[in-house]
A = this chain, B = another copy of it.
């Protein structure tokens, strides 16, 4: 532990400078206009892996953005850890809400503000630096492989193909990912599960052109009004989702499991205060922790139609659109749910409009076995680094690829995240604590150490 602390201490400034360099690339995978920058980011990551001591580093082309691979095989008889992360980020908008530009990382009260600071550049780069540390202090106790992709924020479509086509190269004993969060730095936690995702886009088409709302208003279906009515019908008065069959197969937790979950440190008043809301919202019969952790949800991620400029335009719009995504839990298949949604949404459309539904992408829910070696190693590493036992939690987010690793590579994943829910992931002013960054770099070598020891 002292060796680790010393190395981190000696390289504090450089570790931060390098992360800032990485954060300056606007690697937004959702928006084609950033394509050149996303590609440059991949090259930068490859370069840094080489500098840290990785071999066989390759920027692997895909039909979309490339996957950066690198490895260090010290002894084929030793266990192998496959580190996964992603160098792409969410779109930065709404830009006007950022206090400092999203791609000019800024340090304020010990926090790094930038798009991707936490999700996931700041977190995967800890692994690159922890790897450098183990190499330069001759403490790498096992083989290590890196797979850093550039399409996580848009569904990881090509990573699936890549994994399937590279099973031999990716052969490992466990997947290690830092792309999730802890309850707080005082209350370190370790995620035991992730929700799945089904992301849809809908369009309601009314008349063949925008109409004058005075001349036609009241006599022709308004697609914006109809879209609102259709979306409103997707939740009932208890905020249950009304899509027939949506909850079929959902695995309910036992009273004990639910109690354990609700025992995690959580203060509803602080939660509401942090968000400036007077009341929380959600499915009747479940706590806030359960609503985000073990229950499926349906959210409108975006809606638009008609005139949205300044002033008043008396138009009856020709069409209205919405992006709607569902978070799924164990027992739900994202492809089946996407199909259920499409059929239901089309079935509730009145004859006065035409509705089309497309599925953007999805992901399968995942649960990490708490009795696995890897989970125990992560648990021990955090306990030593933080001087406190981590609380097991259920994450609300989704990392679609996790289920695929198990399916294609037959190995489990450990979710050792160092972010905080308050890090504004996917929001303006995304941040990552410098403390968490260094703490992560200290914790990761301990994971490798204990995983290697326990595997003996």
**Which residue numbers of A lie inside 8 Å of B, CB to CB?**
29-32, 90-91, 93-94, 97, 153-155, 181, 195, 197, 199, 201, 206-222, 224-225, 227-229, 231-233, 235, 275-283, 288, 291-292, 295-297, 299-317, 320-323, 325, 327, 350-354, 360-361, 395-398, 421, 424-429
Q: Which residue of B lies closest to A281 (CB)?
A: B221
Q: Which among B295, B310, B361 is the interface contact of A218 at CB below 8 angstroms?
A: B295
> Residues of B contacting A309 with CB < 8 Å?
30-31, 91, 93
In angstroms, how far is the closest chain B Cβ from the Cβ of A311? 3
Q: Which among B97, B211, B214, B228 is the interface contact of A398 at CB below 8 angstroms?
A: B214
The verdict on A302 contacting B308 (CB below 8 Å), with A212-B425, A352-B280 known, is yes
Q: Are A425 and B215 in contact (CB under 8 A)?
A: yes
Q: Which residue of B lies closest to A360 (CB)?
A: B312
Q: Are A219 and B320 in contact (CB under 8 A)?
A: no
A385, B282: Cα distance in complex, Å: 66
Q: Are B209 and A427 in contact (CB under 8 A)?
A: yes
Q: Which residue of B lies closest to A235 (CB)?
A: B225
Q: Which among B90, B228, B306, B360 is the interface contact of A323 at CB below 8 angstroms?
A: B306
Q: Are A213 and B30 in contact (CB under 8 A)?
A: no
Q: Are A197 and B209 in contact (CB under 8 A)?
A: no
A301, B211: Cα distance in complex, Å: 10
Q: Are B297 and A301 in contact (CB under 8 A)?
A: no
> Residues of B contacting A32 with CB < 8 Å?
310
Q: Which among B197, B208, B279, B312 is the interface contact of A314 at CB below 8 angstroms?
A: B197
> Residues of B contacting A275 with CB < 8 Å?
207-209, 211, 216, 220
Q: Which among B90, B207, B295 is the interface contact of A313 at CB below 8 angstroms?
A: B90
Q: Which residue of B lies closest to A351 (CB)?
A: B279
> Residues of B contacting A395 with CB < 8 Å?
214-215
